[in-house]
Amino acid sequence: MNAQRTVRIGSGLGFYGDSWQPVRASIERGGVQYIGSDHLAELTLAILQKDRSRDASLGYARDVLPMLAELYPLGRERGVKFLLNAGGLNPRGAGAALAESFRKQNLHAKIAVITGDSVLERVDEIVAAGESLAHLDTGASIAAVRERLVFASAYLGARPMVEALRQGADIVLTGRVADAALFLAPLVHEFCWSWDDYDKLAQGLTVGHLLECSGQATGGNFGGDWQKVTDIAHMGYPIAEVGADATAVITKAPGTGGLVSFDTVRQQLLYEVHDPRNYFSPDVVLDMSTLKLTDLGGDRVEVKGATGKPRPATLKVVGGYHDGYMGEASLAYSWPDALKKARATADIICTQLQERKVAHDELHVEYIGHNALFGAVAEDDDAEDLNEVFLRMAIRSRDKKVAEGFRRMFPWLALSGPPFVTGGGIQGATELIGIWPTLVTRELVESRVTIDMIEV
C-alpha cells in the first residue's frame, strides 16, 4: 500500500427521511470513493416494524430505492461504493427490492446483504443459553416485556462489511450496525488495518462518528453562532480524507454551503456520546480525550490522536416493546390572556377526564409558544402578554380506545370554551414503543451473521 494514499469517504443520509441531494456534490465534486449512509436512528426500527406488520416484504428504509436510483449511476462512473444500513429489520427484503429496481433501470451492481443482527426470533434461545438480556440501565428482567417485544436487534461491527467489500461488493446493505462502522469498514478494507491496531480503529471510528449524522458536522443544527453558517440551501455533507496513518481531515465538497470549523466538528464529536473516554463500539472502545482537532481554515479540520482499547465481549442490543397508545389534541388561543385561557381549557379537560373516569397512565400538557420545548426549565417572564399560545395535550393509555377517543373531548370547546380560539389539531391513537437496551455475548450473534451477494 502507498503510505501517502488518501481515502475519501462521504456522508450519506443521517436518518430515514434525510435528503440525499447534498450527496450529489460529494460524488460530483468531492472526489469520494465511498458513501456511508445511516438510515437508522434508535427508534427508526419502531417505524419499520409498523411497515413490516402490514406487509412482510417491507421493514426496510424505503428511501434507499430512489436514493440509489439517482446516486448509484452518478457514482458508478467514478467507482463510488455505498454502505447503507437501510436494510432495517429486513435486509433481504431491501436487497430484493433494490435488485428489482436496478433491473428495471438496467443498472448493474454487486449488492451484498448482511443479516444476523436481528435477535427477536431468538430471544428464548439466547435466554436459554444463559444470557439475562436484563435492561441495561434498570436491571429489570426481560420477562417484563418478552411478550410485547416487536423488534430486538444487535449492533454489528465493521467486520462483515469489510468482508463484503473484499468480495467485491459495490453496495453493502445491512440491518442494525454501529452507525460509525459504516465508515470504519471501508478504511479497514482500504488500508488493511489489523483488528488489534486499536488506535487506528479508534481514529476510523471517530471519522465514522463525525460523518454518521450528515449535515450535523458541517454546520447543520449548530447550537452556537448559527448565523455564521452560510448558504444552507446548498448544504454540503461532510467528507473525510483519511491517510494510512489514520489522520483525517473533515471537509466538504467545494462550492457547497455550510461550515466546517473546530466548533461545528467538536459539536458532532460529542453528539449522543455517553462517556467520551469509553465510547463503546463492536470493534473498538474509543477514548476521545486524546484527540487533537485543528482548524486548518477553508472548511478543513484535522482530526488525529484517538486512542483505542480492545472491543467489548458483548454486543449492544436494542429492543422495542409495545407500550400503549398516545392520543393528542391542540387548540390555539390568541391574546389577551392567551396562556391563562389555554390553562383554563387544560383544567376543563382534566375535570372531565376525572369525572368520566377515563383510564389513562399519563397526561401531558404543554403550551406551545410558552413551555412546550423547555418544560419546567421555561421562564415565566413574558407569560402574561404572549400574542398566542397553542395548548397541546397528550394522553397515554394501554387502551387504544381511550387514546383514540381523547381527540373527541376537544371540538366542543370552540363554541363553549374560553374565547378567541381557533385552529389546532387532533390525532387519533399512535402506538408507543418502549426501548429495551441490553447486552448479549457477541459469539451468540456473530456466529449467525451471513453475507449474501446479489449480482444484478
Partner 1 sequence: MKTRLNRIAHARSGDKGDRADIGLFAYDAQTYDVLKREVTAERVAAHFRGVATGKVERYELDNIWALKFVLNAALQGGGSRSLRIDNLGKTMGAALLRMEIEAPDSLPRLGAEKRR
Q: Which residues bind partner 1 (CB under 8 A)?
A: 42-43, 46, 137, 216, 221-225, 263, 266-277, 288-293, 318, 320, 323-324, 326, 328, 362, 364, 366, 368, 372-377, 379, 392, 394-396, 432-435, 437
Of 283 and 323, which CB lies nearer to partner 1 in the complex structure?
Answer: 323
Q: Quick check: 213 and 66 in contact, CB under 8 A?
A: no
Q: Quick check: 320 and 435 in contact, CB under 8 A?
A: yes
Least distance in angstroms from the C-beta of 305 to partner 1: 8
SS3 320: strand
Q: Quick check: 212 and 179 in contact, CB under 8 A?
A: yes
Of 159 and 316, which CB lies nearer to partner 1 in the complex structure?
Answer: 316
Of 107 and 426, which CB lies nearer to partner 1 in the complex structure?
Answer: 426
Angle between helix axes 198-211 and 181-191 (nearest 10 degrees) is 130
User: Which residues pair with residue 7 across a beta bridge?
Assistant: 242
Of 56 and 373, which CB lies nearer to partner 1 in the complex structure?
Answer: 373
Of 66 and 276, which CB lies nearer to partner 1 in the complex structure?
Answer: 276
> How many helices (DSSP H) and strands (DSSP E) are in the chain?
13, 18
Least distance in angstroms from the C-beta of 19 to partner 1: 18
Least distance in angstroms from the C-beta of 137 to partner 1: 7
Of 101 and 278, which CB lies nearer to partner 1 in the complex structure?
Answer: 278
Dump the DSSP string for 39-79.
---TTHHHHHHHHHHH-TT--S-TTHHHHHHHHHHHHHTTT
Least distance in angstroms from the C-beta of 28 to partner 1: 29
Burial class (CB in 10 A: 0-12, 13-18, 19+), 260: buried
Q: Quick check: 360 and 353 in contact, CB under 8 A?
A: yes
C-alpha 292/C-alpha 302 separation (Å) is 8
C-alpha 274/C-alpha 139 separation (Å) is 18
Of 25 and 429, which CB lies nearer to partner 1 in the complex structure?
Answer: 429
Of 111 and 133, which CB lies nearer to partner 1 in the complex structure?
Answer: 133
* CA–CA distances in Å: residue 437 to residues 104, 212, 440, 444: 40, 21, 10, 17
Least distance in angstroms from the C-beta of 288 to partner 1: 7
SS3 310: coil
Least distance in angstroms from the C-beta of 151 to partner 1: 11
C-alpha 181/C-alpha 134 separation (Å) is 25
Least distance in angstroms from the C-beta of 433 to partner 1: 4
Residue found by looking up cell 448565523 in the block: 227
Q: Quick check: 20 and 13 in contact, CB under 8 A?
A: yes
Q: Which of 152, 178, 175, 176 is nearest to 433 (CA)?
A: 152
Least distance in angstroms from the C-beta of 274 to partner 1: 6
Of 147 and 381, which CB lies nearer to partner 1 in the complex structure?
Answer: 381
Of 311 and 392, which CB lies nearer to partner 1 in the complex structure?
Answer: 392
Least distance in angstroms from the C-beta of 417 to partner 1: 22
Of 189 and 266, which CB lies nearer to partner 1 in the complex structure?
Answer: 266
C-alpha cell at 395: 394522553
Q: Quick check: 76 and 102 in contact, CB under 8 A?
A: no
Least distance in angstroms from the C-beta of 159 to partner 1: 24
Of 75 and 320, which CB lies nearer to partner 1 in the complex structure?
Answer: 320
- 345 φ/ψ angles, rounded to the nearest 5 degrees: -65, -40
Least distance in angstroms from the C-beta of 41 to partner 1: 8
Angle formed at CA 15 by CA 394 and CA 437, multiple of 5 degrees: 65
Least distance in angstroms from the C-beta of 264 to partner 1: 10
Burial class (CB in 10 A: 0-12, 13-18, 19+), 178: buried
Residue type, 276: P
